[in-house]
Amino acid sequence: MYKTIFITGATSGFGKATAEKFAKENYRIIITGRRVERLKAVSDELKKNFNAEVFTLEFDVRNKVVVEAAINSLPEKWKQVDILVNNAGLASGFDFIQEGNTDDWDVMIDTNLKGLLYVTRAVSPMMVERKQGHIFNIGSTAGKVVYERGNVYCATKFAVDALSQSMRIDMLKHNIKVTAIHPGAAETEFSLVRFKGDEEKAKQAYKGYQPLAAEDIANTVYYCATLPPHVCINDLVITSTAQASAIYFNKQL
């Protein structure tokens, strides 16, 4: 039987790679994001390369009214969501706390934390009703150890860690798995977004070592999602071999 996966932030990076991995494995794919032309391009690619069934939903995870309306608007056959990947997120800025841009703080808190909650609130009742499902929350090594100038980004990812633990307890009696995946540095559009389009600064983040690739995270989600029904990976930290924590790297500069 085909399974359905719902991925937030699938226009780029981890989300897009996860959509590709699951499409290749014959899942039905719901992809979401704000950039509608990117969503269409990803959808076209999944259909062309993997003959996948794809449904696209364009929304900003920060807008709770729109999130709820979009998810409620799913056709009945797409409402049987087996896997939810709460992936949409970002870092915005890299400032010391006393110099921080409060608009950046709002964007990170509203996206990484409140957005994840709004999507989960809309999707999880469908899983509870069917007494099956698997929720993935993409945290970060920045949600395990803080680093200089990571302040608000780290706080949102610590919160994702806490929410994942808490969701797992709330979902326990409903037979729903909750897996938090905490990646280290991976070369996606993440740094370009954090540094607001500054390509030089973005490249600097991955200099002198081999970072994770988006496919590494997609393969990890797939591994966790395909374990036997009685097995749940609760919490998983994954870094490149050249990284030991959010702070320690083995860079050859």
Q: Which of the listed partners (ligand 8X3, ligand NDP, none) does 60 bind, with a CB threshold of 5 to 8 Å by partner kind? A: ligand NDP
Least distance from C-beta 12 to ligand NDP, angstroms?
Answer: 4
Here the tokens at position 196 are 């607001």
Considering only 4, 11, 18, 164, the residue that binds ligand NDP (CB under 6 A) is 11
The CA distance from 123 to 13, in Å, is 22
Least distance from C-beta 13 to ligand 8X3, angstroms?
Answer: 11
The CA distance from 140 to 19, in Å, is 20
The CA distance from 23 to 55, in Å, is 12
Amino acid at 105: W
Q: Which of the listed partners (ligand NDP, ligand 8X3, none) does 246 bind, with a CB threshold of 5 to 8 Å by partner kind? A: ligand 8X3
Q: Which of 27, 118, 153, 206 is catalytic?
A: 153
DSSP letter (8 states) at residue 40: H
Here the tokens at position 87 are 């992936």
Least distance from C-beta 183 to ligand NDP, angstroms?
Answer: 4
The per-residue DSSP string of 87-127 comes to ----------GGG--HHHHHHHIIIIIIIHHHHHHHHHHHH
94 is a contact residue toward ligand NDP (CB under 6 A): no
Are 186 and 13 within 8 A, CB to CB?
Answer: yes
Least distance from C-beta 129 to ligand 8X3, angstroms?
Answer: 33
x/- letters, 97..116, toward ligand NDP (CB under 6 A): --------------x---x-
Which CB sits closer to ligand 8X3, 186 or 224?
A: 186
Q: Which of the listed partners (ligand NDP, ligand 8X3, none) does 193 bind, with a CB threshold of 5 to 8 Å by partner kind? A: ligand NDP
189 is a contact residue toward ligand NDP (CB under 6 A): yes
The CA distance from 49 to 19, in Å, is 12
240 is a contact residue toward ligand NDP (CB under 6 A): no
Here the tokens at position 127 are 């899983």
Query: Collapsing DSSP states into helix, strand and coil, what is residue 151?
Result: helix
Kindly list the residues in this chain that would bind ligand NDP in the complex (CB under 6 A): 8-15, 33-35, 38, 60-62, 87-90, 111, 115, 138, 140, 183, 185-186, 188-190, 193
Catalytic annotation, residues: 153
